[in-house]
């Protein structure tokens, strides 16, 4: 995969979208040391501390908008695998639906997936952000940085190469949707809250309480409630975290 690197961007996802609109098809990584307008899912602001990983990957192929959301699961599986390779099987890592990366149940990073129609057709932008050096404070949920784990702490530079290598393998396994069942199974192996009671925040302030039963064939969350099973394709997950409930504001540096 090719790579372009910047000292500063407003947003690596926005730069990826600009390149797609000018004809870029990828695969191409866009990385930045700093972001001035990082954002997460639903346009939420993302604090982009210098030294953290701010990266976006442009991908194109035969897949279209209907299959592109599966790339969020591909990215989650690949990122955890890369962290374990780089850190020597780092423990305490997990994936939180739909697109958060956790370290010991605290937010380590996230994924933002966006689709763009350019002059050469449809492309996907897979944004990945990781708290390498620092984690934001004052949030409604705990956050951690890799620097807190001690001598084995990883820098953004040390993570990017294994991440790119593992991503190639995971994309081959996904096979533009034909292998999603395998990706889904691997994602569930690291799923945070699986089998536990969770709270799910939906649009317009609605909340559901139930047991996280798993993912359906398309990656939607299956929630067992007193009123019966619900299958949901979007929402914010609240996980039990000691005596504190954690709002999973899914998002990443984009």
- Within this chain, do residues 72 and 177 fall inside the same structural domain, yes or no? yes
CB 187 within 8 A of CB 179: no
CB 176 within 8 A of CB 59: no
Strand partners, 108: none
In a domain, 254, yes or no: no
Q: What 3-state class would DSSP assign to 98? A: coil
- Within this chain, do residues 208 and 234 fall inside the same structural domain, yes or no? yes
- Within this chain, do residues 15 and 59 fall inside the same structural domain, yes or no? yes
Q: What 3-state class would DSSP assign to 97? A: coil
Strands 2-9 and 28-35: parallel
Angle value at C-alpha 189, between 29 and 181, nearest 5 degrees: 70
**Domain total in the chain:** 2
CA dihedral defined by 117, 169, 236, 67, rounded to 10 degrees?
40
The CATH number covering residue 170 comes to: 3.30.930.10
d(CA 86, CA 165): 11
Taking phi first (over 0 means left), then psi (-120 to 50 degrees means alpha), and beta for anything else, what does residue 140 get?
alpha
- Domain closes at, from 152, 169, 189: 189
- Within this chain, do residues 47 and 164 fall inside the same structural domain, yes or no? yes
Confidence band, pLDDT 50/70/90 cuts, at residue 44: low
In a domain, 151, yes or no: yes
d(CA 223, CA 67): 22
**Does 187 score more than 50 pLDDT?**
yes
The CATH number covering residue 213 comes to: 2.30.30
- Within this chain, do residues 30 and 116 fall inside the same structural domain, yes or no? yes
For 54-109, write each residue's pLDDT tens digit. Answer: 999 999 999 999 999 999 999 999 999 999 998 877 889 999 999 999 999 999 99
Residue 240 belongs to domain spanning: 197-247
For 115-138, write each residue's pLDDT tens digit. Answer: 999 998 999 999 999 999 888 877
């Amino acid at each position: 995969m090719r790579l372009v690197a910047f000292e500063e961007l407003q947003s690596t996802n926005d730069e990826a979208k600009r390149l797609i609109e000018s004809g870029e098809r990828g695969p191409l990584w866009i990385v930045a040391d700093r972001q001035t307008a990082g954002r997460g899912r639903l346009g939420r602001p993302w604090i982009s501390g210098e030294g953290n990983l701010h990266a976006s990957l442009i991908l194109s192929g035969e897949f279209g908008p209907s299959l592109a959301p599966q790339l969020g699961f591909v990215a989650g599986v690949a990122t955890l695998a890369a962290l374990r390779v780089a850190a020597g099987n780092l423990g305490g890592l997990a994936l939180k639906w739909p697109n958060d990366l956790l370290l010991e149940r605290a937010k380590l990073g996230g994924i933002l997936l966006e689709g763009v129609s350019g002059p050469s057709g449809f492309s996907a932008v897979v944004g990945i952000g990781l708290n390498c050096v620092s984690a934001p404070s004052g949030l409604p949920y705990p956050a951690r940085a890799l620097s807190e784990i001690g001598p084995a702490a990883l820098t953004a530079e040390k993570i990017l190469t294994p991440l790119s290598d593992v991503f190639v393998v995971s994309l081959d396994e996904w096979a533009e949707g034909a292998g999603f069942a395998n990706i889904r199974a691997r994602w569930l192996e690291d799923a945070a809250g699986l089998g536990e009671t969770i709270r799910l925040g939906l649009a317009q302030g609605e909340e559901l309480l139930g047991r996280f039963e798993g993912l359906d064939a398309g990656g939607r969350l299956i929630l067992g409630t007193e009123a019966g099973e619900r299958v949901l394709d979007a929402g914010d997950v609240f996980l039990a975290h000691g005596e504190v409930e954690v709002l999973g504001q899914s998002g990443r540096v984009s």
